Structure 1
Amino acid sequence: MVSLICTLQDHRDDVNWCAFSATLLATCSADKTLRIYHTRDFSEVSYSPLSGHGYGVHCCCFSACGQYLASCSTDGSTVVWSTVTGEIEAVLEHPGRSPVRVCAFSPDSSHLVSGASDGTLALWDFTTKTLDRIKPVDDVTMVACSFTPCGQMFMTGSTYGDLRLWDLSMNQLHAEKDTHDMGVSCCCFGPKILSGGGAVEFRLASCGQDSTLKIWIVSRSSTGGCKMQQIHSLTGQSAPVLSCSFSADGQLLVSGLWKAPSVFRQMVRDNGGPSEQVGGDEGLVCRSQLNVKISVDKTVTVYDASRGALLYTLNQHKRYVTACAFSPTAPLFATGSMDKTVNIWRVEERPGGHDGKHFHVEPATSSHEGGKLPGHSRLLVSDWSEEDVGAWLREEGLEALVETFKANNIDGVELIGLTKESLCSELNIESVGLRSKVLRKVEELKAGCVCTGVPDEFLCPITRELMMDPVIAADGYSYERAAIESWIATKNRSSPMTNLPLQTTLLTPNRTLKMAIGRWRTSQ
């Protein structure tokens, strides 16, 4: 039986990734935040959301002990958070400051790998939070990474469709070319170390833009030689498959469409989705033999991983599903979507599961709905008066600051421009905790306003915020002027949408778009 037990509705933009620890679930989004939940009841922890990235967050992962959470972003950084306090432990700036698409901890948490859109891999010594090694791979974007359960090797996947196996000295041990037509989306190793024929073997799953999920055996002989053998190619989807995750026993596999980091998003606004609907007549086998796959056609499909047989098709999300993850300690998996929600599913084995019984989908029993913006938020925040700001402060439990904000004539425009420095030096707010709370609430407010019905073409692709001064760059896309100017100054003149070099830094005002945004603002 499969039950939809909870729907989380807190993010304000596409959900890009989900990750479990033994006691927590982390989700990250294009709204630039991470949300953290207790797995006992899926209530949000006190310090959530985490707001430290300047742009959308593409990937997140827990350390083995669960005390740390790493997240990576278009802003070119991998941030390490404490899961005890929610505070930032370290900011790892990727060499070249290229957008970071994926990050992964080694099983013993001694290393962290991050992969970027310029094809570089960075291996970090997690104990010291310092860069250990860097490896460039020409003309690719790194979008997938997974460590072997022994922690001595890791696999990466790229937009060129290659899978590459590396050791901790960044030596390439094996390269499997063109594994997925149009690019790899995700790869993950099963948790168990196998053995056979004098070699150590691992099970690997990979998925890609070719609408397939593949299962491989990766082996390394005693002499150091490595090889890969494909054992299953699962084609139950009609559109790209973007993420996959093994269950704790190594037999069950959830796979789903992942919201491609800027490269895909920039080329195909990617994403994939699960959907649910009773289907498949293969019958239910024991939970340990299950594999679930999610695709851009808005479906989550369940497979018997050992046989590669389709068992079940799920459809619940309203838009493409972009992420999935299995809990390491419970028969639960999570799916995230472009509909801004995360669904939590429970997989239960019925007695006699091998007798051909089918999965059953039950309705969600609970739902956590994202915080609502105040009634006056039908106006854009930039249009708020000082009175609107005061009302918002009261609704957010910040009554003590109402008079301070009023005395400093803080309206909507100034509110969304507040920084730690201005709160301290200009508003004289001495409490570090209070300043942090204000900034967190402001980020939530900005993220919420981005995603409440604003046409997507009015949002800057970099900041995902409503454009005030749209300009056209050399790649043909429109951006907020300040955002693209900052990008060009720090990202080596690459296009945020294609990752290709910009032939010129000349920016042309997009007056037509500016007028359209103005008309839309007036209508609101």
Structure 2
Amino acid sequence: MATLIHTLSDHSDDVNYCAFSSSCLATCSLDKTIRVYSLSNFAELPYSPLEGHTYAVHCCCFSPSGLVLASCSTDGTSALWDTRDGRRLAVLQQPGASPVRVCRFSPQATYLLAGAADGSVVLWNVQSMKLYRSGKVKGGSLMACAFSPNGNIFVTGSSSGDLTIWDDKMRCLYNEKAHDLGVTCCDISSHPVSDSENGFKYFQMASCGQDNHIKLWLILFADFLGVQLKYKCTLDGHSAPVLACAFSCDGQMIVSGSVDKCVIIYETSTGNTLHTLSQHTRYVTTCAFAPHSPLLATGSMDKTVHIWQLDLKQPCAGGTVENESKVAIEDWSEDDVSAWLCAQDLTDFVGLFKMNNIDGKELLNLTKESLANELKIGKSIEIQIVFNL
């Protein structure tokens, strides 16, 4: 089940993008601002909104550590912001000053990838704030990009409908016509998969487009074949262009948002529809899963961002979600635990858990007795059920 638990209505124009870190949610808009919220109570941080772009902000993303937030805009720049105090660390001018449509950090935060309306693709060195490599796609604007989990390659999608695979030296490795009317978004699962039968290593990728489709792909790596993009299947749940798609942290689910105003959550392994959410009143432009919490954010041209709580106890993809979730919980910080408590309607206990320095490992080790006797929590049964301790 997906339950709507909070709605953010602070933007004064279309919401273009939303992104999670382990403790924050960032949103950006046609209103030229980026807003940042705490996951512990969904309150806007004191330094928010971030202002500095002179035109619409199209995309935002957190560095892997969550300490830096990147944004990009029609003004032809990408900006880097310190998430601790909201300071603007750098303004990176796209070559040719073309409107920048999308940006992504590499998994090691070595590079920031920025793609623009003129088809230019730039890798910025985050440490030096200097341009590292640049390239260009042919015949269209760059609308989408995603890094592989190891950071060695990335994929771009263009308004001409092409998906292009690049290495980190900006060499074009592969190109495929994927969506007839243009690619709008793509995402690569953070869980690489190995094919033990053939010995190949591959990543799962999703792309979506103006043709109303979401397509699932396998990016194959074989020593004697090089890089290949192998089509897997098409998800046809939407009745209008699909503007956004994203994998869950464990790769078990895919979420999409569309011009049909709906959000659909699919099971990756089967392509089955798990949930259809229709609370937005205009086009759904963006969707994102939280990395370590059972939360989903969706943004729309109705100027709102909805935050949903997902029931991860439901069997999904062969019943493996619970195990995958427990692996992720071990890596939770104290802030992640606070966010989870809020999502479970246990906000009153956030201070107590922080005072006792309870992170993910401590959380998994809690028992009914320790919750009742040491922490004096009467709602221990609720926590017991969620984690099946």
TM-score between the two structures when normalised by the length of structure 1: 0.59
Residue 130 (structure 1) aligned with residue 133 (structure 2): no
Q: Deviations over 1:259-305 (max 9, x none)?
A: xxxxxxxxxxxxxxxxxxxxxxxxxxxxxxxxxxx211011112111
Q: Deviations over 1:392-434 (max 9, x none)?
A: xxxxxxxxxxxxxxxxxxxxxxxxxxxxxxxxxxxxxxxxxxx
Cα distance in 2 for residues equivalent to 1:315 and 1:58: 23
User: RMSD of the TM alignment (CA)?
Assistant: 1.8
Greater helix share, 1 or 2? 1
Q: Deviations over 1:311-370 (max 9, x none)?
A: 3311101111111111001111100011100000011034667999xxxxxxx999xxxx
Q: Deviations over 1:164-217 (max 9, x none)?
A: 00001111111112x111100000100012222232200000000000111111
CA contact (8 A) 1:5 1:365 kept: no
Residue number in structure 2 paired with 1:386: none
For 2:158, the aligned partner's letter is: S
Q: Deviations over 1:227-250 (max 9, x none)?
A: 111212001111000111111111
SS at match of 1:242: strand
Point out where structure 2 has 5 or more consecutive residues left out of the alignment.
320-342, 346-389
The worse-fitting range, judged by mean Cα deviation, of 45-54 and 316-325 is 316-325
Change (3 A) 1:163 1:343: same
CA contact (8 A) 2:184 2:243 kept: yes
CA contact (8 A) 2:2 2:275 kept: no
For 1:198, the aligned partner's letter is: G
Residue number in structure 2 paired with 1:382: none
Residue 240 (structure 1) aligned with residue 244 (structure 2): no
SS at match of 1:191: coil
Q: Which structure 2 residues correspond to residues 252-263 of structure 1 after superposition, within 5 A?
A: 252-255=253-256
Cα distance in 2 for residues equivalent to 1:354 and 1:99: 40
For 2:54, the aligned partner's letter is: G
Residue 322 (structure 1) aligned with residue 285 (structure 2): yes
SS at match of 2:276: strand
Cα distance in 2 for residues equivalent to 1:365 and 1:5: 10
SS at match of 2:192: strand
Change (3 A) 1:91 1:198: same
Residue 212 (structure 1) aligned with residue 213 (structure 2): yes
Change (3 A) 1:36 1:307: same
Q: 4+ residue runs of structure 1 moved beyond 4 angstroms?
A: 350-356
Change (3 A) 1:312 1:87: same
Residue number in structure 2 paired with 1:9: 9
Identity over the aligned pairs, expressed in percent?
Answer: 51
Residue number in structure 2 paired with 1:195: 194
Change (3 A) 1:66 1:8: same
Q: Deviations over 1:138-171 (max 9, x none)?
A: 3210010000000000000000000000001111
The worse-fitting range, judged by mean Cα deviation, of 61-70 and 346-355 is 346-355
Cα distance in 1 for residues equivalent to 2:317 and 2:75: 49
CA contact (8 A) 1:182 1:209 kept: yes
CA contact (8 A) 1:6 1:365 kept: no
Residue number in structure 2 paired with 1:110: 110
Greater strand share, 1 or 2? 2
SS at match of 1:145: strand
Q: Deviations over 1:36-92 (max 9, x none)?
A: 000111110000000010000000010000000000000000000000110100000
Change (3 A) 1:306 1:13: same
Point out where structure 1 has 5 or more consecutive residues left out of the alignment.
256-293, 357-363, 367-524
Pairs aligned (count): 320
Cα distance in 2 for residues equivalent to 1:210 and 1:237: 10
Change (3 A) 1:313 1:50: same
Residue number in structure 1 paired with 2:265: 302
For 2:119, the aligned partner's letter is: G
Shift, 1:100, TM fit: 0.4
Shift, 1:28, TM fit: 0.1
Q: Which has the larger radius of gyration?
A: 1
